[in-house]
Amino acid sequence: MPKSQAEALRNRRADLKRQLRSVDAELEAIERSCDHDWGAVVFDPVIHRGYRVEAVEAGSDSTPAYDVPGRQESRWRRRCRKCGRVEETKQTEEEVVKKPRW
Ligand SMILES: [Zn+2]
């Protein structure tokens, strides 16, 4: 009985993987053909909480306790108004602003 049950689950898993590939391909085609109309860019930083690393007592290899400070990692998100695709990035680029010099 467990063998046939396992076999049924394997078959179902294979079928679901095929369905997933099909849905992924269909969705990718829709998103690729969309001339995206991006909505507002939302700043959504990732917060990394600080923590303390306790001291390790191991004879001559002892390490004192120390604190790892928390930090904020910049992240931005945008959503297409037409197809709903959501993109997020943590990358930035420099912007050169030209202004008249008198
Ligand atoms: Zn789109």
Percent of the chain at pLDDT exceeding 90: 87
Tally of domains in the chain: 1
Residue the block writes with tokens 């680029």: 93
Nearest-angstrom CA–CA distance, 78 and 82? 12
Q: Which domain holds residue 18?
A: 1-33
Instruction: Tell me, yes or no, whether 86 lies in a domain.
Output: no
In this predicted structure, the answer to whether residue 88 has a pLDDT above a threshold of 90 is: yes
* Cα 17 to chain centroid, rounded: 22
Distance 31 CA to ligand 1 centre (A): 6
Distance 86 CA to ligand 1 centre (A): 9
Nearest-angstrom CA–CA distance, 30 and 80? 12
Tens digit of each residue's pLDDT (9 = 90 or more) over 32-77: 999 999 999 999 999 999 999 999 888 778 889 999 999 999 999 9
Instruction: Tell me, yes or no, whether 61 lies in a domain.
Output: no
Instruction: Tell me, yes or no, whether 1 lies in a domain.
Output: yes
Which is nearest to 78 in space by CA: 92, 88, 70?
A: 88
Distance 7 CA to ligand 1 centre (A): 40
Which is nearest to 74 in space by CA: 93, 101, 97?
A: 93
Tens digit of each residue's pLDDT (9 = 90 or more) over 69-81: 999 999 999 999 9
**Assigned token pair, 66:** 């120390």
